[in-house]
Amino acid sequence: MDRSTDGWRDLGTIVEGTSPKVMARCVDAVGDLIQQASLTNVKLKLYDITTGQSTATLVGSETTLTLDDVWFDTAQTDDGWTSNLGGYNFAYVIPAASLAGGGAGVKKSYQIEIRGTLSGNIGFWVVKARIAVTDALGIT
């Protein structure tokens, strides 16, 4: 688990039962989109950090994502992409069941870590984000 405080995107707060879509634009050293063929894998780890990073617990297990489902060789620019950059080439919808609320009046916090591996075993961050989840009534 990455315990650093730098470079994390704050995805805000969602209501339990919601499946948020995370997107990223991943480029190589010259600024070209990383192509699916150059990837070995993309893996997701999700941590419950409600009580702090020092007591974080892995939710489920590390998941290897299916490249055909999450990686695009051309930039995607649907309504979900709000950046002024030319589009995303990675997208994943986190299942709502992975982001359980804490019950009435309890806000839970999660850390989303998605890492890619290029040929040659070169790892890189795809998504580093944190998100909060409230109960279904939105009471916190």
Closest Cα partner for 112 from 70, 59, 74, 73? 59
CA dihedral (68, 123, 125, 63) in degrees, to 10, reads: 50
Q: What is the pLDDT along the chain (140 residues), one digit of tens a residue?
A: 666 666 788 999 999 999 999 999 999 999 999 999 999 999 999 999 998 878 889 999 999 999 999 999 999 998 888 877 789 999 999 999 999 877 777 789 999 999 999 999 999 999 999 999 988 775 65
Helices (H), the chain: 67-70
Contact of 11 with 131, CB cutoff 8 Å: yes
Domain 9-134 in this protein, CATH class: mainly beta
DSSP state of 68: H
- Whole-angstrom Cα distance, residue 43 to residue 45? 7
